[in-house]
Structure 1
Amino acid sequence: MTKAKGKSGKLLLLALLFFSFYAQAQIIAPPKWTVSIEPKNLVQGEEATLVFEAQIPIGWYIYANDFNPDLGPILATLKLDNPAGYELKGGFTAIDPKTKYEDIWEGDVKYFIGKGRFEQSFVPKSTSGKISGTLEYQMCSDVTGQCVNYDEEIEVAFTAKQETNTPVFGEAGQQESAELGIVAPPKWTISLEPSPVHSDEATLVFDAQIPIGWYIYANDFDPKLGPILANLKLDNPAGYELKGGFTAIDPKTKYEDIWEGDVKYFIGKGRFEQAILLKADSGTIQGTVEYQMCNDITGKCTPPFEEDFEIPFQSSNSTNTSADSDENLFNEVGEENADSSIEIVPIQENESLLGFMVLAFLAGLAALLTPCVFPMIPMTVSFFTGRAGSKATGIRNAIIYGLSIIAIYTIAGTAVAAIQGPEFANWLATHWLPNLFFFGIFIFFALAFLGMFEITLPSSFVNKIDEKSEKGGLTGIFFMAFTLVLVSFSCTGPIVGSILISSAGGELIKPILGMFAFSLAFAIPFTLFAIFPEWMNRLPKSGGWLNSVKVVLGFLELALAFKFLSIADLVYHWGILDRDIFLIIWIVIFSGLGLYLLGKIRLPHDSPMETIGVPRLLLALFTFMFVLYMIPGLFGAPLKYLSGYLPPMSTQQFKMTGGLNTEAGENILGEPVKYADIPLEIPHGIQGYFDYEQAMRAAKKANKPLLIDFTGHGCVNCRKMEENVWVDPQVLKRLKEDFVMVALYIDERLELPESEWYTSEYDNKVKKTLGKQNADFQITRFQNNAQPYYVILDHNENLLAQPKGYDTDIQAFIDYLDGAKEKFEQSN
């Protein structure tokens, strides 16, 4: 059993390395922001609201800004350029954020998950203007163990009407001024979309609020009928040109007797659009909208109204910042932006297709060991037991079953690669709906295996399956294969996602071959088990050892079910399964399993047992050893062998920490550490630096490799690494003795002297603060923007090991350090 466990552990480790090799080279895309102004009809001197709405990726959250800023996380901040034409009212406000207590910060924080909304009130002081500035915020994930800082540049143009005494329509629908006999026109909102304009194409949008009881004619019907059609007249275009015509969007249609034909019109609300092509970086669009408004109640039609408008625009004329590329902004770092002396080559760029397929095949074997795949084996055995009348038929059915698995995975996976990409696999692995579904399925099967009830199919369904079996039974076999793929995909999703990553560049052959290799390895064992039922027919159908195997699987499925609930709980911050509660559940379940194996607990369908065999005794002993291993976790022990299953340490309610040597080491250069007075710090007495150039000089003087720690004040998972991995005596000894460390804080707001400012080659923005320069250094040199992120360099700035992200496996971190040190010594 120990040997099998060792092999399975190696396969699982290989698959996880295969996945992380891809994941670490990716840049985390920011939320999608929509910036708008409410209400749309602005009036000069009247208060309005600038609205910021964020669509936050699944599994991530962003911090709000209405909690204690001294706790640690980066609060969302709005920094506006010099206001011109408007005046701010109040502060930048988070609307209905969630609240939770974070142990790492020892206080309550507020955050948004899924969607976020911020508001800033202002008063327009002129009839037109532009609001521009920067939105700064932090996005974190408890699932992936990453935190990322972003700054989003915003620019919104506005127009406001001067307040007039023009009458408006009341509830009756036909109010007029008795003295003047004037009918109030609709209220128009005229805007340019998208806002801000980031490409050379835009749309001029005209929205009308039409008085009750009245309607306005559209413009896409026969102009010879009689009504005046809506029309757009633009002044001499400068800096832009029209594309297409002035278009009514979804007007209504009716037949009017007086005109003897169909007319199109708007009632309540109306919308027209005009596409334009911007030829200059900035300018103004001026013109007039002409239209006619009528009322069937009073039988009146107004003379043609004219609505004058003036809208300023500003465009970068750059596809690099277009709306379509915003979501991929952090995925488009070219090699030309990276330092020529540092080369980070993703594995998919240089490997052969054969090597890629071999890795995918090994990943498929490792996927068999995941908690939602392995328990499907007895279901496969049960399904095929007794279905085949002969051995030849059984082999045929098994091969069809295996080919069905391969076909489903390859076709579905390739479709995802071509249409959705790896994000869909991430959704299936992290969304609450599939995880709660699988939680319920595993509880259901666990109770059945424990003997609470028997799983039987309806007799009518069984009869139909039997009828199809006589004709080949392909439908039932395919359905069983589809069920296996569906249930297992929650666990295989992250591994499959690493294969589908190659589709991001538009490739299809590679993901097809990768999915084929993965599903082939995945299908072979199930195909063999599908053949195996012919042999199991000779074994007892109930009682004895077979029932004991079912009960053991029931305990295992009961334990593994809570992993699915834990994923949903972490992603959506329900707070149901803290690390302590999860461990208590597992300790109780596996204690029950140990007592069952010793014969102290008997369940339905168990045979009387006077003695237990040696294998059963050994299995009971291993179970109790596992229980004893978990108990220290209740007091804060890291339990590194369960790090992939347990909730993160940040959810632990009780921690017991021992003594730690925090005596600071020697300052190698013998000079003041730059930025140490901010203050910045490196924990546990590790002597280090906060400036890359100074740290590299120290590394050369000490003849040691340079370890870069990309970290942040508000980085939760940086603190987890420091508290759970760095505190290990072996790790701490290496960090203090074998490396020179530099901690580069990416969220430090210290503004540097103007002489140190520079414009980034990555996003063409001026980097003024220490944090922004550190973040830009991480992106341009190492194509990554997540923290924590560890990079080890030699004195020529060459990589000594593949950079490493968040990973609480202590031994893996030790191996990472030792491997880099060994390569450094060999090169000297």
Structure 2
Amino acid sequence: MPASALGLPSELALAFLAGVLLNLTPCVLPVIPLKIRTIIHHAGASPRQRVEAAVAFLAGTLLFFLAIGGAGALLHWTWGVLFQSPAIIAFLIAMMAGFAAMIFFDIDMPVPAFAYRMGGGRHMEPLISGVLAAILSTPCTGPFLGGVLAFALTQAPAVLVAVFLTIGLGLALPYVVILLHPSLLDRLPKAGEWSRRLRQALAFLLLASAVFFAGSLLSTHVTLWLWRAWAVGLAVWAGVAIVQRGTLTVRIVAISAAALGLSTAFAGGLLMLPHGGPLHWRPFTEAQLVAARRAHRPVLVEFTAAWCINCKILEKTVYVAPAVVRAAQRENLVALRVDLTRPNPAMERLLVKDGGAGLPFAEVRDPEGHMTEIFRGLFSPAALVAAIDRSASHLDMTG
């Protein structure tokens, strides 16, 4: 069993920091509207009620990480494996669309009768918010998380579960602190029309996430029209908010939300049919690796999935960057893609064997087939260009 050079206490500290930083990843952004709603609903409550809400939120997050950590220990699941299930994705899409409607129209969350009988009705929303935040964090590997997960998957079950629980604790901490200290929000202007419009804008963010994950289940053309319908809805909502009588703040909120949402959708290529990209990706096979080695060509291997938000960010930014394209052409690079949208045991074993524990993950191999660089999570075009150049120089030094 490999031991960490840092030791378990340091790995747990990194796991905690990785959990905190997960809040900044695109995967967790969709649940921010629900978290804000939970915080606002409890901001004026008694200290005891706020403590109970904080405990419920933390419990929801830790329960999920306990479950996923146990599954990792017993079933050897990799990070994000839940999103390979169409049933789970469909359930999450329904939840996100439902929460978006609740937030947009300010509808109270329906609470099952058994929760009322147990006296926990008012804590259902923070509990579900904590669970959903934890679930939506799993398609992303943020800073430090890739290394932490690679370490955890080599450890005894108890250590692996402890690492996962520590990640969950870090993920929940910022919102627990705000729930316990609502005075941190005192500087915000009093609620009014501007806050209603802001809430509605955040509902569009949650709805966009539902559309994104729907792309894992639906055809490209259907998903394209869903994105276009979302964009039209956002534009119409912003137009109505602008022309209606309201304060300057209301109009700024509407214009900013529409400009940010529509520009992001356009820049991300969400409103047009996708294309192969300048690297001319090919599906990964062992035969492709052998052919590249025989032709003395370096190889870039990307492990990706339709539900991996960070993967899509890399594909829309790093892999199409002019410097990367020039480096790929200069070194006659072969770009291979491993699609883990659905379960693929052979490719999942390859991912773990090559040092990955979640998506996104990429590796660069030199013309002799030796792996010279790996990337976990997000990275820059400059880092990839340097890795491609090093793969060529590695051959010069060893050839």
**1:364–1:518 contact (8 Å) kept in structure 2:** yes
Alignment of 1:782-821 (within 5 A): 791-793=364-366, 799-802=371-374, 812=380, 815-821=383-389
C-alpha offsets along residues 35-68 of structure 1, whole Å, 9 cap, x if unaligned? xxxxxxxxxxxxxxxxxxxxxxxxxxxxxxxxxx
Q: Identity rate of aligned residues, in percent?
A: 15
Give the AA of the match of 2:108.
Answer: I
Q: Over the residues paired in the alignment, what is the CA RMSD in angstroms?
A: 5.2
| 1:441 maps to 2:83 | no
Match runs of 1:265-344 below 5 Å? none
The structure 2 residue matched to 1:692, chosen from 293, 304, 312, is 293
How many pairs were matched up?
353
Alignment of 1:431-580 (within 5 A): 431-451=85-105, 454-455=107-108, 468=119, 475=120, 479-480=124-125, 482-494=127-139, 505=154, 507-532=156-181, 543-567=192-216, 569=217, 574-575=218-219, 578-580=222-224
Report the CA distance between 1:526 and its aligned residue. Answer: 1.7
Match of 2:229 among 585, 605, 616: 585
Once the two structures are TM-superposed, the CA of residue 724 in structure 1 deviates from its matched residue by 10
Answering whether residue 25 of structure 2 is matched by residue 367 of structure 1, we say no
TM-score using structure 2 length: 0.65
Q: Does 1:732 align with 2:376?
A: no
Alpha-carbon contact 2:299-2:333 (below 8 Å) kept: yes
- SS, match of residue 802 in structure 1: strand
Quickly say closer, same or farther: Cα 1:693–1:725, change in 2 above 3 A: same
Q: CA deviation at 1:506?
A: 6.1
Give 1:615 shift: 4.9
Tell me the SS of whatever aligns to 2:365. Answer: strand
Corresponding residue for residue 408 of structure 1: 63
**How much has 1:801 moved relative to structure 2?**
2.0
Q: Does the Cα contact within 8 Å between 2:201 and 2:257 map onto a contact in 1?
A: no
User: How far 1:515 moved relative to its partner?
Assistant: 1.7
Q: Is the 8 A contact 2:34 2:129 kept in 1?
A: yes
What is residue 707 of structure 1 aligned with on the other side? 298
Question: What letter matches 2:373 in structure 1?
Answer: A
1:65-105 per-position Cα deviation (integer Å, ceiling 9, x unaligned): xxxxxxxxxxxxxxxxxxxxxxxxxxxxxxxxxxxxxxxxx
Counterpart Cα distance in 2 of 1:415 and 1:458: 28
Counterpart of 1:531 in structure 2: which amino acid?
A: L
Amino acid at match of 1:514: V
Give CA-to-partner distance per residue, 1:762-793, whole Å, 9 cap, x none: xxxxxxxxxxxxx9xx99x9699xxx975333
3-state DSSP of counterpart to 2:298: strand
Cα distance, 1:561 vs structure 2: 1.9
**Aligned twin of 2:307:** none
Code of the residue aligned with 2:132 in structure 1: it is V
For residues 223-234 of structure 1, the aligned pairs below 5 Å read none
Residue 362 of structure 1 deviates from its aligned partner by 3.7
CA contact (8 A) 1:794 1:800 kept: no
Q: Is the 8 A contact 2:299 2:365 kept in 1?
A: yes
Contact 1:380/1:529 (8 A) holds in 2:
no
Q: Per the alignment, do residues 402 and 709 of structure 1 end up closer, same or farther by CA in structure 2, a change over 3 Å counting?
A: closer
2:84 corresponds in structure 1 to 430
Q: 1:380 aligns with which of 7, 22, 38?
A: 38
Aligned AA (1:486): V
Q: Are the counterparts in 1 of residues 96 and 210 from structure 2 also a CA contact under 8 Å?
A: yes
AA of the residue aligned to 1:609: G
Measure how far apart 1:527 and its partner are: 0.8
Deviation per residue, 1:202-232 (Å, 9 max, x gap): xxxxxxxxxxxxxxxxxxxxxxxxxxxxxxx
> Normalization by structure 1: what TM-score?
0.35
Give 1 or 2: higher helix fraction: 2
2:246 is aligned to 609
What is the aligned partner in structure 2 of residue 111 from structure 1? none
Contact 1:446–1:554 (CA under 8 A) maintained in structure 2 = yes
Q: For the residues of structure 2 that align with 1:818 and 1:487, how far apart are their CA atoms? A: 38
Q: 1:361 to 1:615 in 2, by over 3 A?
A: farther
Residue 219 of structure 2: SS of its match in structure 1? coil
Q: Which residue of 1 aligns with 2:267?
A: 629
SS in 2 for 1:801: strand
Larger RCO, structure (CA 8 Å, separation 6 or more):
2
The answer on whether the counterparts of 2:100 and 2:206 sit within 8 Å (CA) in structure 1 is yes
Answer whether contact 1:443 1:558 (CA < 8 A) is retained: yes
Q: For 2:387 and 2:210, how far apart are their aligned partners in 1?
A: 37
Indicate how the Cα distance of structure 1 residues 740 and 553 shifts in structure 2: closer, same or farther if over 3 A, else same: closer
AA at the equivalent of 1:412: A
- Deviation, structure 1 residue 377: 0.8
The answer to whether the Cα contact below 8 Å between 2:327 and 2:388 also exists between their aligned partners in 1 is: no
Counterparts in 2 of 1:690 and 1:727: CA distance versus 1, 3 Å:
farther
Question: Do 1:692 and 1:742's aligned partners in 2 also have CA atoms closer than 8 Å?
Answer: no
Partners of 2:202 and 2:315 in 1: how far apart? 37
Residues in 2 aligned to 1:438 and 1:583: alpha-carbon distance in whole angstroms: 18
Q: Which residue does the alignment assign to 1:417?
A: 72
Query: Aligned partner of 1:730: which letter?
Result: A
Whole-angstrom distance in 1 between the partners of 2:14 and 2:41:
31
Give 3-state SS (helix, strand or coil) of 1:791's partner: strand
* Residues in 1 aligned to 2:316 and 2:49: alpha-carbon distance in whole angstroms: 55
Q: Which amino acid aligns with 2:131?
A: L
Question: In structure 2, how many angstroms separate the alpha carbons of the residues matched to 1:799 and 1:375?
Answer: 42
Alignment of 1:116-195 (within 5 A): none
Amino acid at match of 1:447: A
SS in 2 for 1:561: helix
**Mapped contact 1:425–1:494 kept (Cα < 8 A):** yes
8 Å Cα contact 1:404-1:481 kept in structure 2: no
Mapped to 2, the partners of 1:455 and 1:619 lie a distance apart of 24
Instruction: Assess, with a 3 A threshold, how the Cα gap between structure 1 residues 521 and 723 changes in structure 2: closer, same or farther.
Output: closer
Q: CA deviation at 1:555?
A: 2.0
Partners of 2:79 and 2:301 lie apart in 1 by 29
Distance 2:329 2:56 in 1: 56
Task: Letter of the 1:560 partner, please give it.
Answer: S
Larger Rg: 1
Give the letter for the 1:523 counterpart: A
> SS at the partner of 2:31?
coil
Residue 486 of structure 1 and its aligned partner are, at CA, apart by 3.1
Residue ranges of structure 2 left out of the alignment (5+ in a row): 281-286, 303-313, 337-346
Q: Is the 8 A contact 1:442 1:561 kept in 2?
A: yes
